[in-house]
Amino acid sequence: MHLPLTIAPADAAAFDVVTCGLNSLDFVAVVERYPAWNSKTRLEQFDKRPGGQMATAAAVCARLGWRARYIGSFGDDELGTIGRASLTDEGVEIGAAWCVPGATSQFAVVIVDRTSGERTVLWNRHPGLKVRADQIDPAAVTSGRLLIVDCHETVAATAAARAARAAGIPTIVDVERVREGIHQLLANIDVIIAAESFPAALTGYEEPGRALAALAAEYRAPIVAMTLGEGGSLARCGSREIRTPGFRVACVDSTGAGDAFRGGFAAACLRWPDGDLETIMAFANAVAALNCRGLGARGGMPTLAEVDALMAGARP
Ligand SMILES: Nc1ncnc2c1ncn2[C@@H]1O[C@H](COP(=O)(O)OP(=O)(O)O)[C@@H](O)[C@H]1O
Ligand SMILES: [Mg+2]
């Protein structure tokens, strides 16, 4: 099954991929096991690490060798300085991102259960970071060959996706929650990549395949998919269902797995624009699995050689 997207050649755009949405600084707290309510637990490790869905997806693409641009809002604080440096150090361009005077940058407390590597996120977003549709610069969001948005601010994400679509640029969404404005957003998306609980929450169908089929029919997205944690992913394209197993890795921290998956998906589309969707889904799963090797949303971001080795059967 060939990738049903038309991606412009490299020389037609300044960037390969543009991401628009959240960045975050994560305060990562590692405990042996997730604590019981009203208990005391020893903190094994505590550190601050850059994250946020779209910032991380851009960093993952850059690590894999693509020209990536991130667009979103930072506060004018130390967290923002660290967040911006984390991106530019990785080679991500942030010239169209902005700083909000008086706002605290988005941050989160992330509790990582060392035994499973699974994470629980407590997030904070200053109201001043909100992105209005009129802050979306059409020239910036159409400066890549692919656009990825998240679903946190649906009005702004819809404006970005509309501009990209009008310019013939395929749009990818990272969608995790049913929010106001979600229908308009999804109607402007070519590749819907949902978190595990989203398709059922939106469509009412508990069976994942049926829920994806309903999403595809409603929004006319050529590809709809959902990630299933260590279980991999399920995608639907036309009338085909593609089940892709997860790769086995020693999961240190699953924070950012979903962000890495979207970044990996975009990177695979750029690498194989006429490629096989099965291979592209496997690549996205491999990138996401490897990302779980290290602490923090970007602690395990793989190089292309590492992804290729895992796909060829090497043990991570
Ligand atoms: N423990 C794990 N082992 C291997 N791969 C994983 C693991 N957890 C997540 N992944 C990979 O990351 C992808 C996204 O993870 P998932 O947990 O579904 O997303 P999120 O929790 O970020 O919404 C999965 O499709 C899978 O490829
Ligand atoms: Mg998960």
Domain of 104, CATH number, reads 3.40.1190.20
Predicted local distance difference test score (pLDDT) of residue 50: 98
Token pair in block for residue 277: 């969707």
Q: Write down the mean pLDDT value for the chain.
A: 97
Query: What is the distance in A from the centroid of ligand 1 to the CA of 255?
Result: 9
Ligand 1 atom closest to the Cα of residue 257 is: 12
Whether residue 316 has pLDDT greater than 80: no
* 60, 288 contact by CB (below 8 A): no
Residue 154 pLDDT greater than 90, yes or no:
yes
> How many angstroms is it from 260 CA to the middle of ligand 2?
11
Instruction: State pLDDT tens for residues 273-306.
Output: 999 999 999 999 999 999 999 999 999 999 999 9
**CA gap 16, 3 in Å, rounded:** 17
The verdict on residue 82 lying in a domain is: yes
**Length of the chain as a residue count:** 316
* Distance of CA 64 from the midpoint of ligand 1 (Å): 18
- Name the residue with the closest Cα to ligand 1, atom 14: 258
Determine which residue's CA is closest to atom 20 belonging to ligand 1. 258
- Domain membership of residue 154 (yes or no) is yes
Q: Where are the alpha helices (DSSP H) in 167-314?
A: 182-186, 198-203, 208-219, 257-271, 277-291, 304-311
Structural domain includes residue 5: no
Give the confidence band of 314 by pLDDT, cuts at 50, 70, 90: confident
Structure tokens at 302: 């793989």
Query: Residues 181-223: pLDDT tens digits?
Result: 999 999 999 999 999 999 999 999 999 999 999 999 999 999 9
Would you state the pLDDT for residue 89? 98
Distance 244 CA to ligand 1 centre (A): 12
Cα 118 to ligand 1 centre (Å): 9
pLDDT tens-digit series, residues 32-71:
999 999 999 999 999 999 999 999 999 999 999 999 999 9
Asked if residues 297 and 22 have their Cβ atoms less than 8 Å apart, the reply is no
Task: Find out whether the beta carbon of 246 lies less than 6 Å from any atom of ligand 1.
Answer: yes
- What is the domain count for the chain? 1
In a domain, 3, yes or no: no
pLDDT, position 315: 78
Tokens for 55, please give them.
């910032």
Structural domain including 184 reads 10-310
Q: Which of 113, 198, 230, 248 to mutate to test the pocket of ligand 1 (most atoms within 8 A of CB)?
A: 230
| CB of 190 closer than 8 Å to CB of 160 | no
Residue 75 CB–ligand 1 contact under 6 Å: no
Looking at the domain assignment, is residue 2 inside a domain? no
Contact 189, 262 (CB under 8 A): no
Average of pLDDT values for 305-314? 95
Q: What is the pTM of this model?
A: 0.97
The pLDDT-based confidence of 1 (bands split at 50, 70, 90) is confident
CA 233 to chain CA centroid, Å, is: 14
Task: Quote the tokens at residue 242.
Answer: 């593609």
Please report whether residue 1 resides in a domain: no
For residues 100 and 117, give the distance between their C-alpha atoms in angstroms, rounded to a whole number.
34
